[in-house]
């Protein structure tokens, strides 16, 4: 799949926060962990909470609904590493944020 524009660099979340962005049929959660960005599926595996409306705690993305935590690099939950949300390749080119879905 080709990379597609998600947003502009200036819209990325601040240090150690998350933000959600529409991307076609999906919504993508972008996490900024100490200046490193990750693109994750926005839907929590528990009850479908919006990860991009959550918080960052101890290097994990925390769902705002019930506190499930995800590693932003692998998408794995902290309580069961076999449960994972999708993590998408992402790059920044000429001020545009591109993801490969």
The enclosing domain of 89 has a CATH number of 2.102.10.10
Looking at the predicted structure, is the pLDDT value of residue 1 above 80? no
**In the numeric block, which tokens belong to residue 27?**
């919504």
Query: Which residue range forms the structural domain that includes residue 78?
Result: 3-100
Please count the structural domains in the chain. 1
Can you give the pTM of this predicted structure?
Answer: 0.95
Tens digit of each residue's pLDDT (9 = 90 or more) over 49-88: 999 999 999 999 999 999 999 999 999 999 999 999 999 9
β-bridge partners, 68: none
Separation CA 94–CA 63 (nearest Å):
31
* pLDDT, position 75: 98
């Amino acid at each position: 799949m080709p990379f597609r524009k998600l947003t502009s660099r200036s819209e990325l979340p601040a240090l150690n926060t998350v933000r959600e962005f529409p991307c076609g049929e999906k919504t993508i959660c972008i996490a900024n962990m100490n200046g490193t960005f990750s693109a994750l599926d926005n839907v929590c595996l528990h009850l479908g909470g919006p990860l991009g409306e959550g918080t960052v705690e101890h290097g994990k993305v925390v769902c705002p609904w019930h506190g499930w935590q995800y590693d932003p690099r692998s998408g794995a939950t902290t309580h069961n590493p076999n449960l994972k949300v999708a993590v998408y390749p992402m790059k920044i080119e000429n001020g545009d944020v591109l993801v490969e879905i």
